[in-house]
Chain A
Amino acid sequence: MISFNKYYNHFNLLSTILIISSLLLLILKGLNFGIDFKGGTLIELRATDSKINVSSLRDRFKQMDLGDVSVKKFGNDKDFLVKFENKDNKNNIIEEIKSNLDNSFGNTYDFRRVENVGPKVSAELLKSGVIAITLSLALMLIYIWIRFEWQFSLGAILALFHDVIVTLGVFSLFSLEINLSIIAAVLTIVGYSMNDTVVIFDRVRENLRKYSDIKIFELTNISINETLSRTIITSATTLLALLAIYFFGGEILKGFSLAMILGVIFGTYSSIYIANTILVRLKVSQKTILKDDDQK
């Protein structure tokens, strides 16, 4: 049996530091919103000529007077991602860019993807993203409230907040782009993290009924160990699937799978080291659940 409980305090401290630094990052540095949430235009361009590169593209776009243009490689040497604000939301901007690029590069490139999101739509998408995440957290809270005693609910929700905040913190730290698929990833993380926590909590509650003489500090450790191989196997297979998406699923899914990978790791960690320590700190005992059982 592994003594997870020996490190409860250490990891609680670590989590507190992680959450605080993530929050600081989110407040001070903020998130790198993609065009879905900020509005603007995105062009994915594939070149067939080696004279098209980041700097030559940057030069071209600079002359077009489009404001702040970002040009980046996208996965390999011939694919590029161009993003700019498109403040006036001009509809024929793509045509203008094409004719401009034709002048300098001829027919040696191809627009593989064009996305243009107006300011109204991006504001709506951001709003519905925030609503979706809030709603999912609220629904999880309600669900766990129905299923467990309040001490458990608090533990599970704190673990959820931890996972969401720290994942977003990592995205802020490395300036990774937040787009629609990241919202999908965050929601899935919420589901996954809850799932993981609930499986351990289920066991804690079962053991609370079974053993009246074991203190919660010990009892959580027993429960974690009993469910440990399941935790490891499920996390492992999920991570294997996600790694396959990350490495082979193409550039478009990279951000999504990275967010999910982080979320699964944080989710597994938080189920053990946040959710359970809350039970310990709130001195949950057999009485806690028996009182509830009686009421029912």
Chain B
Amino acid sequence: MLYFSKLRIIFITLFSVLFILIASSNLFKFDDSFFNKKINLGLDLQGGSYLLLEIDNKPVIEKKLQNLTTIIRNYFKEKNIKINNIKIEKQNIFFNVTEKDKQSILDVFRDENSDLNPYYPRFKSHQLEIEDTGLNLKVNFSKQGLIKLKTSSQDQAIEIVRRRVDEVGTNEPNILKRGNNRILVELPGLDDPMRIKSLLGKTANLTFRFVTNDENDRFGIEKLKFENDLDEATVSKRIIISGENLLDAQPKMDTQVNQTVVTFTLDRVGAKRFGKATSTGIGKQLAIVLDGKIISAPVVRDTIASGSGQISGGFTFQSATDLALLLRSGALPAPLEIIEERTVGPDLGQDSINAGMIALAIGFVLVIIFMLVKYKIFGLITNITLIVNLFILLGVLTLFEATLTLPGIAGIILTVGMAVDANVLIFERIKEELKDETNNILAFDGGYTKSRTAILDANITTLLAAIILFFMGSGPVKGFAVTLGVGIFTTLFSVYFIARLFTSVYVARNKDKEKLI
């Protein structure tokens, strides 16, 4: 027990020095491609914004069902199977069938090679479920079908969110999926997320449609409000061009009328359709509709064949810039709702760092003084171990590029307080052994072996708590779990290797001393 081989001593020294170096690398800025790992500061320390967005999939599901009714109708029409009265109610499709066709319809839906109802062999499930309710059949999305639909709208949405955030140009945004209907956006260094919030809150669904008074329009009509919420116009549901046809959009100052407009360029399909519509519709009003509201409805004066045009609507330069940005980055598949927001200003972050560091320093000094007074030379050993332990802890966090949060700093301070526990358990045990053991070395050995189970138990219990926190906790609290958990391992290492090395050297040199501890 007392004996440490040279190799082991070298290993312990090198290991400690290495981690001290790694930990100190956080303090200096050096452009080194060899080692450029650093502890990340959490949003609560560096300032920034955390937004959790939830995708409202209801419109997506409804749109999908709407399409499906057409597909189902056409599919069976082709096969000369009669289905009647197809309609959507509460996210279910209902239709009537005749007794003789019923079985073949059910078979089509339940066939694993069905081209109407895709089958996912991995989940042993179809996209759609059909329920046999007499001569009125009910079709809706299966659990897997719904999951597929949600993940695909999440994939689209995260792409659009990323584009919009990138266009605003914040530094190192972090955009992640959460579950199958949420998106997490972390924006370090941003203390006023207002603009991004308003950009993400818009679906940006743009359509160009004619204003009509023809009640018999075969595509249907709807009444839409203007942006000012006061005026209304009746607009055809027939879409001439939509946001998907846009190649580019830019804000521009129109010097003729002295107002800001958004200019756009259309792709080939869009340009063709726009040209055709404007040639046949001269004199008609063309409504520009964004997210169900009319921005403006200019009268068509000329055929526009060039595939470019401009939108006016009483914009300020800022709102024109934002609209252009939204149009460039594309429409979201579904509306997003911000369900959680946490924003910390940079100066509060700095204050938190300062307070955390002061608390760490004071806590550290208090513990060091206490141990020195209580244990003298063994206190000194504990303290040296404690300092090295702190460096190794920071080094490990650096290596993993862990995120340090304010509760994380609290976890480090707490580790300092609890790290002495193992050494205390050992020293107290040595003291007890010395009561009936005159040989210092044997007492030292006994102290280490007999305290082992207690130390192990003590650390495992804390580790269990830290593991649960890591998996259940969110954001800052996770940072606490990380420092607390890593702290347990570094503490055990420093107690059993570093502190024991020092103690064994001291005991070996003072093997005949009375009152060793």
Residues of B within 8 A of A198 (CB): 454, 457-458, 461
Contact with B along A186-211 (1 / 0, CB 8 A): 01101110110011001100000000
CB distance from B188 to the nearest CB of A (A): 15
Q: From B352, B454, B465, B475, give the contact of A252 (CB < 8 A).
A: B352
Interface: A282 (CB within 8 A): no
A139 touches B464 (CB 8 A): yes
B201 touches A140 (CB 8 A): no
Contact with A along B353-374 (1 / 0, CB 8 A): 0011011101100110011001
Interface: B340 (CB within 8 A): yes
B359 touches A248 (CB 8 A): yes
Interface: A149 (CB within 8 A): no
B477 touches A180 (CB 8 A): yes
Residues of A within 8 A of B338 (CB): 91, 116, 118
Nearest residue (CB) in B for A188 is: B465
Q: From B370, B461, B484, give the contact of A143 (CB < 8 A).
A: B461
Indicate whether A113 sits within 8 Å of B343 (C-beta atoms), given known contacts A143-B464, A249-B410: yes
Q: From B345, B416, B469, give the contact of A241 (CB < 8 A).
A: B416
A202 touches B453 (CB 8 A): yes
B428 touches A183 (CB 8 A): no
Interface: B194 (CB within 8 A): yes
Interface: A165 (CB within 8 A): no
Q: Which of A23-31, A128-136, A273-281, A286-294 contacts B (4 or more CB under 8 A)?
A: A128-136
A118 touches B474 (CB 8 A): no
Complex-state Cα separation, A199 to B425, whole angstroms? 9
A250 touches B355 (CB 8 A): yes
Interface: B198 (CB within 8 A): yes
A244 touches B359 (CB 8 A): yes
Q: Which among A89, A118, A139, A245 has the greatest number of chain B C-beta atoms within 10 A?
A: A245
B420 touches A237 (CB 8 A): yes
Considering only CB atoms and an 8 Å cut-off, how many residues of chain B contact the other chain? 70
Indicate whether A199 sits within 8 Å of B458 (C-beta atoms), given known contacts A113-B348, A184-B407, A244-B363: yes
CB distance from A86 to the nearest CB of B (A): 11
Interface: A256 (CB within 8 A): yes
B424 touches A112 (CB 8 A): no
A120 touches B339 (CB 8 A): yes
Interface: B283 (CB within 8 A): no
Complex-state Cα separation, A78 to B479, whole angstroms? 29
Q: Which of A9-17, A47-55, A213-221, A226-234 contacts B (4 or more CB under 8 A)?
A: A226-234
Q: From A92, A117, A239, give the contact of B198 (CB < 8 A).
A: A92
Complex-state Cα separation, A92 to B198, whole angstroms? 8
Residues of A within 8 A of B356 (CB): 249-250, 253
Interface: A68 (CB within 8 A): no
Interface: A240 (CB within 8 A): yes
A241 touches B465 (CB 8 A): no
CB distance from A157 to the nearest CB of B (A): 12
Q: Which applies to chain A's interface (DSSP): helix, strand, loop or mixed?
A: helix
Nearest residue (CB) in A for B463 is: A191
A240 touches B366 (CB 8 A): yes
Q: From A114, A131, A239, A240, give the contact of B343 (CB < 8 A).
A: A114
Interface: B441 (CB within 8 A): no
Interface: A100 (CB within 8 A): no
B472 touches A131 (CB 8 A): yes
Nearest residue (CB) in B for A244 is: B363
CB distance from A105 to the nearest CB of B (A): 17
B414 touches A188 (CB 8 A): yes
Complex-state Cα separation, A115 to B52, whole angstroms? 12
Complex-state Cα separation, A243 to B370, whole angstroms? 14
B413 touches A244 (CB 8 A): yes
Interface: B163 (CB within 8 A): no
B465 touches A116 (CB 8 A): no
Nearest residue (CB) in A for B352 is: A250
Nearest residue (CB) in A for B473 is: A184
A118 touches B340 (CB 8 A): yes
Interface: A238 (CB within 8 A): yes
Interface: B418 (CB within 8 A): yes
Indicate whether A121 sits within 8 Å of B458 (C-beta atoms), given known contacts A143-B464, A250-B355, A252-B406: no
Nearest residue (CB) in B for A189 is: B465
Contact with A along B461-483 (1 / 0, CB 8 A): 11111101100111111001100
Complex-state Cα separation, A172 to B363, whole angstroms? 28
B418 touches A234 (CB 8 A): yes
Complex-state Cα separation, A253 to B474, whole angstroms? 16
Complex-state Cα separation, A139 to B463, whole angstroms? 11
A245 touches B453 (CB 8 A): no
Interface: A147 (CB within 8 A): yes
Interface: A44 (CB within 8 A): yes
Residues of A within 8 A of B254 (CB): none
Interface: B281 (CB within 8 A): no
B420 touches A183 (CB 8 A): no
Interface: B445 (CB within 8 A): no
CB distance from B424 to the nearest CB of A (A): 5
Complex-state Cα separation, A182 to B228, whole angstroms? 47
A117 touches B417 (CB 8 A): no
Complex-state Cα separation, A238 to B371, whole angstroms? 12
7 closest cross-chain pairs (CB), A and B:
A241-B417, A244-B363, A191-B465, A250-B355, A132-B472, A118-B339, A249-B359
Q: Can you spell out 24 A-B residue pairs with CB atoms less than 8 angstroms apart? A: A89-B339, A91-B197, A92-B198, A110-B345, A114-B341, A117-B341, A120-B339, A131-B472, A136-B464, A147-B457, A190-B465, A191-B466, A195-B421, A195-B457, A198-B461, A238-B418, A240-B417, A241-B367, A241-B417, A249-B355, A250-B406, A252-B44, A253-B410, A257-B410
Known A112-B344, A114-B343, A242-B363; further 18 A-B contacts with Cβ < 8 A: A114-B341, A115-B342, A132-B473, A140-B461, A180-B475, A180-B477, A183-B477, A187-B469, A192-B418, A238-B417, A241-B416, A242-B417, A250-B352, A250-B355, A252-B44, A252-B406, A253-B406, A253-B410
